[in-house]
Amino acid sequence: MTEQATNIPDELVNLRDLGGLPTEDEEVTATGVLYRSDAPHYGDCAPEGMAQWPPAAVVDLRDSAELKADRHPLTGLSTVYSVPVLEGLRSSPDEEWLSLSALYEYILEYAPGRILEIFRIAVETEGPVLLHCAAGKDRTGVASALLLRTAGVRPDAIVADYVRTDRNMYRVLQRLDQAPALPPGVEEEAVKELISAPTEAIETVLNELDGSEGGATGWLLAQGATSAEIERWRARFVNTMP
């Protein structure tokens, strides 16, 4: 993966509406509330089949170094929030991130305030909220898992949604338009997992959340969320079956 890709897609290739997922109470999540995707580009075609586009709010999870001071492509069309999940957390040269499970655990441990900020944007927005990072896999995957689990979505459904990214990764890498930089002495095969979406990685997040006192709800409450915010999120995102 050293050459620039040609024929780069002019549309989001890892976009989906997180509606229609089953909950443990035999309900389903509502469409038109929460989207996830790879990073939008200028000139992207409007996606088909979405309940509303552009979304009411966009939460960009990338670091400032990734943005290069560029305006977000959806500025002026959506309310754009920057929540750089990993900003300032890469300072230690001893960080072992050659495992997605380790990276995801790191996010939950060292960026809980930023995850809480994402949750509150999702709660308070009227209309669809789009979460994205660069590929829409790792930072987006952790944040999406938290929002889905808090709404009571079944773990197996969260895992199934996460691994959908695997089928999209070739086109995601085309849109990123560059090979990932590897640390000195690290071969591409050693970090192959970092460009995939393995089941065990997101299961690490779910195990961490469900292992907290009170589950995902308890985890959020421990970070400063209120019971009223959690109930509002569930009312907004879960369709009560007749």
CA distance 237 to 145: 14
Tens-digit pLDDT profile for residues 98-110:
688 989 999 999 9
Instruction: Give SS3 for 219.
Output: helix
Q: Is residue 3 part of a domain?
A: no
Q: Does any domain span residue 181?
A: yes
pLDDT of residue 172: 87
7 falls within a domain: no
Domain at 20, CATH number:
3.90.190.10
Alpha helices in the chain (DSSP H): 64-67, 100-110, 112-124, 139-150, 155-163, 169-176, 199-210, 215-223, 227-237
Determine the residue type at 105: E
Give the pLDDT score at 2.
39
Span 80-124, pLDDT tens digits: 999 999 998 765 545 555 688 989 999 999 999 999 999 999 999
Tell whether 131 is covered by a domain. yes
**pLDDT tens-digit series, residues 174-215:** 888 754 554 455 555 555 556 688 999 999 999 999 999 999
Tell me the residue range of the domain where 142 lies. 16-239
| Mean per-residue pLDDT, 48-53 | 90
| Contact between 118 and 84 (Cβ < 8 Å) | no
Q: Are 139 and 165 in contact (CB under 8 A)?
A: no
Q: Is 122 domain-assigned?
A: yes
- Domain assignment present for 10: no
pLDDT for res 3: 41
pTM of structure = 0.89
How far, in Å, CA of 242 to CA of 233, rounded? Answer: 20
182/164 Cα distance (integer angstroms): 25
Q: Any residues with CB less than 8 A from the CB of 145 and at least 6 apart, and which?
A: 158, 162, 202, 205, 206, 209
In a domain, 45, yes or no: yes
What total of structural domains would you count in the chain?
A: 1
Q: Is residue 149 part of a domain?
A: yes
pLDDT exceeds cutoff 80 at 14:
yes
